[in-house]
């Protein structure tokens, strides 16, 4: 386990006793703190270790635990959601496949893609799952709009699209009204691994990234901007 994820897992397990709060919590290096939300910048971390840290955080948190966003990238990995079918992995390209407890089908994570994990108390924020999905999608749409790119939702297919091409994918899990997992935004990455899968279970679904849309943000810049847009959306609901 990397030092960053180990520290994160330790912080998660201690959350009940420590009652990590904005301005008081054990924020990781690079974290941005808001009054009601802690944003952790994890860098590039292993998917399975981060997933376990999310589970630990969610199990340990109480009604008083501050909500968090975890911003990161992952080494190359395919993840298969609870609705996923193995046949949507079309070929073996040497990238590991992890069966996850998030919603949705199969997707790819890799360097240059921003992942934001959304660790919220939905009851405290009076949010329904569908409203959270809408807030996440709108945050991505607003980020792209700020750079002159028109993005949209597609009915029945969660995520964000530019034309027919998917630029952001979503997958969530909720336990005891606490959400985890989140959203991935393709920023400046190698897209070829998507050809080895039916992205989100849709054969031939094209994918794109912000760089190819003329938005020249680094993954770190995109993560900060997306977290800011998501915070705005959550405050409005």
Q: Are 66 and 37 in contact (CB under 8 A)?
A: yes
Catalytic residue positions?
A: 200
pLDDT at 161 over 90: yes
Q: What is the pLDDT of residue 95?
A: 98
pLDDT in tens, 205-234: 999 999 999 999 999 999 999 999 999 999
Give the residue ranges of the annotated binding site for substrate. 102-109, 169-171, 182-184
At the top level of CATH, which class does the domain 3-235 belong to?
A: alpha beta
Least confident of 1-10, 71-80, 92-101, 107-116: 1-10
* Domain residue spans of the chain: 3-235
Known binding positions: 102-109, 169-171, 182-184
The residues pairing with 115 across neighbouring beta strands, listed in sequence order, are: 72, 184
Per-residue pLDDT reduced to its tens digit, 11-39: 554 543 333 333 333 444 445 546 789 99
pTM attached to this predicted model: 0.88
In sequence order, what DSSP letters do the residues of 74-142 get, joined into one string? -SSEEEE-TT--GGGB-S--S--EEE-SSSSSEEEE-TTEEEEEEE-BHHHHT--HHHHHHHHHHHHHH
Binning pLDDT at 50, 70 and 90, where does residue 40 land? very high
The Cα–Cα gap between 40 and 217 comes to 19
């Amino acid at each position: 386990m990397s030092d960053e994820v180990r520290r994160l897992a330790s912080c998660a397990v201690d959350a009940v006793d420590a009652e990590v709060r904005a301005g008081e919590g054990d924020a990781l290096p690079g974290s941005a703190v808001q009054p009601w939300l802690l944003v952790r910048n994890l860098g590039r971390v292993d998917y399975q270790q981060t997933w376990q840290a999310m589970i630990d955080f969610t199990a340990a948190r109480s009604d008083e635990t501050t909500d968090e966003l975890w911003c990161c990238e992952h080494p190359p990995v395919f993840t298969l959601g609870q609705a996923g079918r193995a046949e949507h992995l079309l070929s073996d390209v040497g990238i590991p496949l992890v069966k996850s407890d998030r919603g949705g089908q199969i997707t790819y994570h890799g360097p240059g893609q921003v992942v934001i994990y959304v660790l919220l108390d939905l009851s405290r924020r009076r949010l329904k799952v569908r409203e959270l999905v809408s807030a996440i999608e709108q945050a991505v749409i607003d980020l792209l709009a700020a750079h002159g790119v028109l993005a949209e939702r597609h009915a029945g297919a969660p995520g964000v699209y530019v034309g027919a091409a998917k630029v952001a994918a979503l997958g969530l899990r909720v336990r005891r009204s606490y959400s985890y997992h989140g959203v991935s935004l393709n920023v400046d990455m190698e897209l070829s691994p998507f050809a080895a899968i039916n992205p989100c279970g849709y054969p031939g679904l094209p994918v794109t990234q912000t760089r190819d849309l003329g938005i020249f943000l680094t993954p770190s810049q995109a993560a900060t901007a997306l977290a800011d847009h998501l915070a705005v959306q959550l405050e409005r609901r």
